[in-house]
Amino acid sequence: MILFRFIVFGFLSVCLQVLPIFVLAGGTDKKEVSIYDFKVIAMNGKEVPLSDYKGKVLMIVNTASKCGFTPQFEALEALYKKYKDQGFVVLGFPTNQFAKQDPGSNKEIANFCQLNYGVTFPMFRKIKVNGDEADPLFVFLKAKAPGFLGTERIKWNFTKFLINKDGEVVKRYAPSTSPKKAMPLIESLLKN
């Protein structure tokens, strides 16, 4: 009986994770959802379709301004500057879900990133990455690249997802992993 409950609970958990992706794909439509099906909101309020980044290698990161990992902005910016002319883009998504480490307005966050770290890569409006109000993009990313021991939940700020030129989620990096550790894989993806 316990095994039966475990199996049913596991099945329902998977269904609840996949349902938002299924709905985004048009419900009964058999088309598989792609990262390019999502739209995000830039800091200036403009809607940006991720299809604008087709053919590019992407690193999508949930960020925070008052976190022990905040200095990673410097490494992310260095990667962006080094590889942007080859087709690499960092996309930053602030979140206040972890110890309220990004409480400012979108304008304050954008100013902080630019003034303190010289961030020139695209930053988007503050979102939630976990829970019932999680942004659909992060629901998709977590499903495609689960974390340690298969858990999908984002553990902390600066979880990084690497996306290839075809829009496939290739790797998930833990918050403590320096963005520079992704350089060999970024270079490989840019060559393909």
Q: Which residues are catalytic?
A: 67
SS3 for 136-167, per residue? Answer: HHHHHHHHHCCCHHHCCCCCCCCCEEEECCCC
Q: How many CB atoms lie within 10 A of CB 157?
A: 26
Give long-range contacts, CB 8 A cutoff, 24+ apart: 48-55.
48/122, 48/124, 50/137, 53/89, 53/91, 54/167, 55/87, 55/165
Distance CA 16, CA 155 (A): 19
Q: Cβ-count burial of 82 within 10 angstroms (0-12 exposed, 13-18 middle, 19+ buried)?
A: middle
Ramachandran angles phi, psi of 76, nearest 5°: -65, -45
Contacting residues for 88 by C-beta, under 8 A, at least 6 apart: 56, 57, 58, 59, 79, 80, 82, 186, 190
